[in-house]
Amino acid sequence: MKTSSLPLISVQNLTVEFGTREGPVTAVRDVSFDLARGETLGIVGESGSGKSVTSFALMGILDANGQVAQGEMTYSGIDLRRASPRQMRDIRGREISMIFQNPRSALNPIRKVGLQIEDILREHAVAVGGHARRQAVELLDRVRIRDPEKRYHAYPHELSGGMCQRVVIALALACKPRVLIADEPTTGLDVTTQKTIMDLIRDLATEQGLSTILITHDLGLAANYCGRIVVMKRGEVVEAAPVDVLFGAPRHPYTRALIEATPRRSGTVRALLPPDDFRHGQPDPKPRCRALSAPLLTVEGLTKEFGAEGSGFGWLPWRKGVETDKAFRAVDDLSFELHAGESLGLVGESGCGKSTTSMMIMRLLDPTQGSVRLDGEEISAIPSSKFARHPARAKLQFVFQDPTDSLNPRFTAARCISDPILRLGKLEGGKAVKARVEELADLVNLPLELLSRFPHQLSGGQKARVGIARAVALNPSLLILDEPTAALDVSVQAVVLNLLADLRAQLGMSYLFVSHDLNVVRLLCERVVVMRAGIIVEEGATDQVMTTPKTAYTRELLASSPEPPPTLGALEAAE
């Protein structure tokens, strides 16, 4: 960090309000921070903390109903709050540029990526004609895109998410800005991609002497790439400190809770809870082990191919011999076992076939080949469309990744939970069903008065609880959890993971935990299976896979997930 008398960006007492029909709502209150030259500043907070709004205000791109109510923002002496739209247009892109969360939506889908970079260069009159083209290729090369001449002609849909984000970075850096604001640049990308993108941003920042503001919900990520971190909560800055100070001696209880809730390579589920929770520091709930002799779930040679069905017109005489698209093997000859009371983690990056596998076991998708046996009974032969009324249906349940999407917007929470009971439960009469729903709500710590609410009136964590209550309503023997916490804030994730650990101890279910994050899977599973491109690359006890991984891929996966520095408490405990 270079020390300079004058900060490059200075934000003083910024307050941003949004006009809504209930009157003005303050999204950001009294926020102050400075960004020095060459510094990387992290702004960390959970959803609703106002971290994005702060950066939008800085860039002058607030929504029409938002306005800066108070405070000063300056960029190397220029008053950003009072700058004319024309001045702001010049500053944006040329002086301060921004990278957004979803790279694909930031690119024009019907224009070649190379041309999009050229557009920016021309717009800011940095280069013209053939020169612009050469510079565009150079920029693609600079963001480490292989074969930039060829990629120049690619459309966004022909590139992977990580590649698109590189193009977006190239766009952002095209006019050699001095400040880069990266708003959740790697959310939605795989951990290995996340690492390469973040390393790229860091390297480019050093090369070009950029100052960077990294906005993220991930404290671990910020700790690894930033010098100083500003922690925000509900629109206010709760703490701002250099990384080692922040982790060594967090002053604010919220910071401490956030640090505790960030999953690490070691530590217990209980330790994720905030320090003032009575369960913090207690030993983890032990899963109720049942007879380990017969496997609960046996998967053998499971294979799924997509795209082999053809158009359905193959029987026509003139279609004979016309080759259909080659089938894509999403899951290739997969075999594993899961015992009663045991929890197995299924880990891999997007596209590795983990979701397809869980859908096939769940009997929502028909496998191309292979067998799935539950309690010794072959269930893969029953077509998925007929499985709804099968007796095994109740034994296999699922917790969805997106708690919002998995609840019918027109059903109340109680109606959502009661759905499986009404269809498959053996309860008679409305009273018995109501009693059971209340019992389930109690089990997942959902206040009973929330049962009459609709999904849009519930928070993310509450919706996740409704989803879990629905999944355990029929006392299933196997619960598949598909990234159950991926859409949640870390503090809510901590609560949900603890709930899942408690439920397993109470109800004695087996979990098949599908996730991309080994640090989360580790907390609940004794055994993990690492998948890549439809096949198993490594399988073993969680501790062993985490500490002594056998394959290069697992090692890469482990190295990519950002590990926050140890807290003072953890250091003391180690001594």
Partner 1 sequence: MADVTAFKAGVKPRNHIVYILTENPVSIVAIAGFAVIVFAAIFGPLVAPYDPLATNVAISLHPPSWDHWFGTDQLGRDVFSRVLVAARLDLMISVSAVALSFVIGATIGSAAGYFGGWTDRITGRVVDTIMAFPLFVLAMGIVAALGNTVENIIYATAIINVPFYARVARAEAAIRRTAGFVQAAKLSGNSDLRILATQVFPNALPPMAVQASLNMGWAILNAAGLSFIGLGVRPPTPEWGIMVAEGANFIISGEWWLAIFPGLALMLTVFTFNLLGDALRDIVDPRQRT
For partner 1, the binding residue among 27, 258, 372, 441 (CB under 8 A) is 27
- Interface mask (CB under 8 A) for partner 1, residues 356-375, using x and -? ------x-x-----------
Q: Which region among 79-87, 155-163, 396-404, 511-519 touches partner 1 (by CB under 8 A)?
A: 396-404
- Tell me if 376 contacts partner 1 by CB under 8 A: no
For the CA atoms of 293, 294, 296, 298, the dihedral, rounded to the nearest 10 degrees, stands at 120
Q: What letter represents residue 490's amino acid? A: V
- Interface mask (CB under 8 A) for partner 1, residues 460-489, using x and -? -------x--xx------------------
d(CA 38, CA 5): 13
Looking at beta carbons only, is 33 or 247 nearer to partner 1? 33
Looking at beta carbons only, is 376 or 391 nearer to partner 1? 391
Least CB distance from residue 293 to partner 1, whole Å?
28
H or E element at residue 358: helix 354-361
Looking at beta carbons only, is 398 or 511 nearer to partner 1? 398
CB of 103 within 8 A of CB of 161? yes
Q: Which region among 222-230, 252-260, 400-408, 523-531 touches partner 1 (by CB under 8 A)?
A: 400-408
Q: What is the DSSP letter of 8?
A: S
For the chain, percent helix, then strand, then coil, each to nearest 5?
40, 25, 35
Q: CA separation (Å) from 235 to 24, 182, 253, 400? A: 14, 19, 16, 30
- Tell me if 29 contacts partner 1 by CB under 8 A: no
527-532/535-541 β-pairing: antiparallel
- Interface mask (CB under 8 A) for partner 1, residues 42-81, using x and -? -----xxxxxxx---------x-xx---------------
Q: Which region among 72-80, 161-169, 322-330, 417-425 touches partner 1 (by CB under 8 A)?
A: 417-425
Looking at beta carbons only, is 334 or 471 nearer to partner 1? 471
Q: What is the DSSP letter of 311?
A: -
Footprint (CB under 8 A) of partner 1, residues 300-359: 312
CB of 192 within 8 A of CB of 552? no
Phi (first) and psi of residue 45, to 5 degrees: -175, 165
- Tell me if 413 contacts partner 1 by CB under 8 A: no
CB contact set of 318 (below 8 Å; sequence gap of 6+): none
Looking at beta carbons only, is 122 or 423 nearer to partner 1? 423
Least CB distance from residue 453 to partner 1, whole Å?
8
Least CB distance from residue 270 to partner 1, whole Å?
27
Phi (first) and psi of residue 418, to 5 degrees: -80, -15
Chain centre distance of CA 299: 28
For partner 1, the binding residue among 33, 75, 247, 398 (CB under 8 A) is 398
Looking at beta carbons only, is 132 or 441 nearer to partner 1? 441
For partner 1, the binding residue among 69, 88, 327, 424 (CB under 8 A) is 424
For partner 1, the binding residue among 410, 426, 428, 574 (CB under 8 A) is 410
d(CA 82, CA 72): 9
For partner 1, the binding residue among 1, 6, 25, 552 (CB under 8 A) is 25
CB of 220 within 8 A of CB of 563? yes
Q: What is the DSSP letter of 312?
A: S
Least CB distance from residue 105 to partner 1, whole Å?
12
Lateral strand order in the sheet of 211-216:
96-99, 179-183, 211-216, 40-45, 228-233, 236-242
- Tell me if 21 contacts partner 1 by CB under 8 A: yes
Q: Which region among 102-110, 279-287, 394-402, 504-512 touches partner 1 (by CB under 8 A)?
A: 394-402
Looking at beta carbons only, is 9 or 478 nearer to partner 1? 478
The footprint of partner 1 on this chain (CB under 8 A) covers a number of residues equal to 47
d(CA 528, CA 520): 12
Identify any residues that bridge with 399 across adjacent strands, giving them in sequence order: 481
- Tell me if 516 contacts partner 1 by CB under 8 A: no
- Tell me if 385 contacts partner 1 by CB under 8 A: yes
d(CA 189, CA 404): 21
CB of 480 within 8 A of CB of 361? yes
Looking at beta carbons only, is 25 or 559 nearer to partner 1? 25
- Tell me if 389 contacts partner 1 by CB under 8 A: yes
- Report the 10 Å Cβ neighbour count for 373: 16
Q: Which of 372, 284, 296, 377 is nearest to 334 (CA)?
A: 372
For partner 1, the binding residue among 2, 3, 22, 315 (CB under 8 A) is 22
Question: Given the rule CB under 8 A, which residues bind partner 1?
Answer: 18, 20-22, 25, 27, 47-53, 63, 65-66, 312, 362, 364, 385, 388-389, 393-394, 396-398, 400-402, 405-411, 416, 419-420, 423-424, 456-457, 467, 470-471
